[in-house]
A and B are shown apart, each in its own frame.
Chain A
Amino acid sequence: MITFGEGNLRIPRFGKPVYIVAGGMTDFRKTYPEKATEELAAEALNMASLENDLKVSMPEFKRLVNFCVYSQFADHFGDQLLAAARVHDALGFDPLGNFEVKTGGATGGHAVLAGAMAVASGYADVVPVVGWERMDEVSTRQGNSYIASAACKNFESELGWMYASYYALMAQRYLYENQVPRETLAKITVKNHRYACSSPFSQNPMKLTEQEVLENKMVSDPLSFLECCLMSTGAAALVLADEAMAFKLTDRPVRLAAICSGTHTLRTADRRPMAVLRLPHEPENLYRDRKWDWPGFSAFLATRMAAYLAYQMAGIGNPLEELDLLETHDAFTISDIQTYEDIGLRPYGRGREFIESGEAYLGGKLPTNLSGGLLGAMHAVGATGIFQIVEVLWQLQDKWAKFHADPKMWERFGKVMPGDIENLQVPNARRGAAISHAGTGSHVTMAILERA
């Protein structure tokens, strides 16, 4: 679709407000043989229900649940079809209804969207959303091959069996059109690895220098190893509720003001030029003199679509002014810059300024990926979109320290809390957003959370 019909851009509405009352997660590891998948899911849900100051006990909480949503990217990885049935059973929710959502890397975001639809419609009033990925049963090379089987098997997968290469094609073109210094790209991965150092959940905390990133080996030029996301095993969980149940369960519910979805062709190749879909705060003539095709290989229409809908659903005029924190799907350094533009933090072609200006850091205008992101903390695909929203939830509840700066939380995962841990709580955070993203932008959700 390259022109929109009258129904295509309708702003989504919830039939009634949707709240998030609790979140939890495991730590994330490259390999996690100590725990079976359903044990990881149970730990994440346990943290959500037992450690989020809910006003009901665990048995009471379970008696309130009426529907469940599960999130796992690829049956290939865990080698267990219908893994959700095993998890649902292990969590003791039978015979309640459930379904499992699958939209690639954006599976977590879409699972939350599905749970939100259940609550907003009145179908259910307490809905756990639990996601996981077990990526440690195969080698990294085999894992990359599995992930690339989410590309078009006739015309793409054989060409590298490697998503980093499909992103690298976009990255090379983006750099050609926009001339971003490699130092700017390095800053993104340095930042996210640094923030990962202050989280007990992180798989890959590192204090990097830009120079180390610049000297790092290429996976597929222009992307080096340190500019590519992790492959993780772990789980994350959220509890959604309607207004009455939210206030029964917690004193600090957070409202899910919007969660919206966009898509684009699975093959980057098939993205025909069209007029830029302008966000509400972008002036009419902003792209009048644009030199390059849009979205081409340098923008994600799916992300732009999700943002276009989400901002209007949540009543946001200017995201940079009105959001207090952001979690992006930083699968690769350069795709993060593309995302800054797609969600309107800068006009197309100027995304680099968001990181160069310092706005993306704690203390800046819109701190981004304080969780450590996919580069530093985790990418256990089915868990990722949920993990991001859990991190935003805790920030908005002023509970960052409770979950990140307690030595006991580090000990739980066999770690010692670093002496130089940074306090990453965003002061007085009221509104945050999270982007869940699949393929080379085949599916994207944007969630906007607001302190109730």
Chain B
Amino acid sequence: MSVELVAPGCEVLNLSPLVIENVKDYFHVHTYGGLTRFFEGLRASRLLGTRCTNRACEEHRIWLPPRAYCPDCLRPMEWVEAPQRGEIFTHTTVEYPGSNFKLSTPCPLISVSLEGVCTKMMSYLKDGRPEIGMKIRAWFRTENPTHTILDLAWVPA
């Protein structure tokens, strides 16, 4: 029996101190679990949030991003349609994103205020220049979806 090297070795980047390449080449899987309906919804141009059904709970507004369980009373939540028109609460324009960013830059990020929703979801403005208070409507990437949050964007209303 003799053992051979069957995968490539490491490239040397510097001799002293010895610094070698440490290449990563693997993939993870990721489950959306109980939030699957939200991401399914995007493909059907639906914006789905969740709402607590417990009458005794102090929060009855819609959560978006959705949650499987109400953080106030820990009861399971129900799915509801969230409004698809709202306004920009705040914004920035990404010039130098981190690795793995899948959109072109400059890319305006926005936080979205929606009537009846207790949260201010982060998203991006697909067209136009962002301003605080600007009226916007939802846009869905139904063709070539990424199956990520990038399938939801907003455009001037």
Contacts of A272 in B (CB 8 A): 59, 118-119
Interchain CB contact under 8 A, B121 and A155: yes
Bound CA span A221–B99, Å: 19
B143 located at the interface, meaning its Cβ lies under 8 Å from any Cβ of chain A in the complex: no
> Looking across the interface, which residue of chain B has its beta carbon closest to that of A174?
B90
A171 located at the interface, meaning its Cβ lies under 8 Å from any Cβ of chain B in the complex: yes
B157 located at the interface, meaning its Cβ lies under 8 Å from any Cβ of chain A in the complex: no
Contacts of B35 in A (CB 8 A): 154
Interchain CB contact under 8 A, B90 and A169: yes
With both chains docked as a complex, state the minimum distance between the C-beta of B138 and any C-beta of chain A, in angstroms.
15
With both chains docked as a complex, state the minimum distance between the C-beta of B90 and any C-beta of chain A, in angstroms.
4
Contacts of A79 in B (CB 8 A): 22
Interchain CB contact under 8 A, A268 and B132: no
A130-156: contact bitstring with B at CB < 8 Å (1 yes, 0 no)? 000000010101111111100011111
A220 located at the interface, meaning its Cβ lies under 8 Å from any Cβ of chain B in the complex: yes
> Looking across the interface, which residue of chain A has its beta carbon closest to that of B123?
A159
B28-49: contact bitstring with A at CB < 8 Å (1 yes, 0 no)? 0010100100000000000000
Interchain CB contact under 8 A, A156 and B97: no
B144 located at the interface, meaning its Cβ lies under 8 Å from any Cβ of chain A in the complex: no
Question: A158-B150, A165-B97 are contacts. A268–B111 as well, Cβ < 8 Å?
Answer: yes
With both chains docked as a complex, state the minimum distance between the C-beta of B20 and any C-beta of chain A, in angstroms.
11
Bound CA span A347–B125, Å: 34
Interchain CB contact under 8 A, A169 and B93: no
Interchain CB contact under 8 A, A270 and B65: yes
Interchain CB contact under 8 A, B17 and A162: no
Interchain CB contact under 8 A, A160 and B101: yes
Interchain CB contact under 8 A, A144 and B99: yes
Bound CA span A152–B150, Å: 14
Kindly identify, within residues 97 to 111 of chain B, every residue whose CB is under 8 Å from any CB belonging to chain A. Answer: 97-102, 107, 109-111
B149 located at the interface, meaning its Cβ lies under 8 Å from any Cβ of chain A in the complex: yes
Contacts of B58 in A (CB 8 A): 2-3
Interchain CB contact under 8 A, A159 and B124: yes
B96 located at the interface, meaning its Cβ lies under 8 Å from any Cβ of chain A in the complex: yes
B25 located at the interface, meaning its Cβ lies under 8 Å from any Cβ of chain A in the complex: no
Interchain CB contact under 8 A, A220 and B93: yes
Kindly identify which residue among B98, B110, B123 contacts A142, using a CB–CB cutoff of 8 Å: B98
> Looking across the interface, which residue of chain A has its beta carbon closest to that of B111?
A169
**Considering residues A146, A148, A155, A161, which has the most beta carbons from chain B within 10 angstroms of its beta carbon?**
A155
With both chains docked as a complex, state the minimum distance between the C-beta of B112 and any C-beta of chain A, in angstroms.
9
A425 located at the interface, meaning its Cβ lies under 8 Å from any Cβ of chain B in the complex: no
Bound CA span A106–B63, Å: 27
How many residues belonging to B are interface residues under a CB distance threshold of 8 Å? 41
Contacts of B149 in A (CB 8 A): 154-156, 158-159
Bound CA span A146–B110, Å: 22
Bound CA span A245–B135, Å: 63
> Looking across the interface, which residue of chain B has its beta carbon closest to that of A176?
B132
Bound CA span A165–B123, Å: 12
**Considering residues A33, A146, A176, A220, which has the most beta carbons from chain B within 10 angstroms of its beta carbon?**
A220
With both chains docked as a complex, state the minimum distance between the C-beta of A335 and any C-beta of chain B, in angstroms.
14
> Looking across the interface, which residue of chain B has its beta carbon closest to that of A136?
B19
B92 located at the interface, meaning its Cβ lies under 8 Å from any Cβ of chain A in the complex: yes
A227-250: contact bitstring with B at CB < 8 Å (1 yes, 0 no)? 000000000000000000000000
Bound CA span A159–B126, Å: 12
Bound CA span A2–B120, Å: 16
A34 located at the interface, meaning its Cβ lies under 8 Å from any Cβ of chain B in the complex: yes
With both chains docked as a complex, state the minimum distance between the C-beta of A150 and any C-beta of chain B, in angstroms.
12
With both chains docked as a complex, state the minimum distance between the C-beta of B102 and any C-beta of chain A, in angstroms.
7
Interchain CB contact under 8 A, A148 and B98: yes
Bound CA span A169–B93, Å: 9
Bound CA span A142–B124, Å: 22
Interchain CB contact under 8 A, B148 and A269: no
> Looking across the interface, which residue of chain B has its beta carbon closest to that of A168?
B92
Bound CA span A143–B17, Å: 22
Question: A169-B92, A171-B92, A173-B132 are contacts. A142–B99 as well, Cβ < 8 Å?
Answer: yes
> Looking across the interface, which residue of chain A has its beta carbon closest to that of B92?
A168
Interchain CB contact under 8 A, A219 and B100: no
Interchain CB contact under 8 A, B102 and A33: no
Contacts of A159 in B (CB 8 A): 109, 122-124, 149-150
**Considering residues A144, A159, A166, A173, which has the most beta carbons from chain B within 10 angstroms of its beta carbon?**
A159
A58 located at the interface, meaning its Cβ lies under 8 Å from any Cβ of chain B in the complex: no
Query: Which residues of A approach B to under 8 Å, CB–CB?
Result: 1-3, 33-34, 79, 137, 139, 141-148, 152-156, 158-162, 165-166, 168-173, 176, 217-223, 267-272, 297
Across the A-B interface, give the 8 residue pairs with the lowest CB-CB distance, nearest first. A161-B98, A144-B98, A168-B92, A145-B98, A173-B90, A145-B99, A155-B65, A160-B94
In the complex, besides A34-B17, A142-B99, 18 extra interface pairs with C-beta distance below 8 angstroms are A33-B17, A141-B96, A144-B98, A146-B98, A155-B122, A156-B149, A158-B149, A159-B123, A160-B94, A162-B96, A169-B109, A169-B111, A217-B95, A219-B95, A219-B96, A220-B92, A268-B122, A272-B59
Q: What would 13 A/B residue contacts be, using CB atoms closer than 8 Å? A: A1-B72, A145-B98, A155-B121, A159-B150, A162-B94, A169-B109, A170-B90, A173-B90, A218-B95, A221-B93, A269-B120, A271-B120, A272-B118
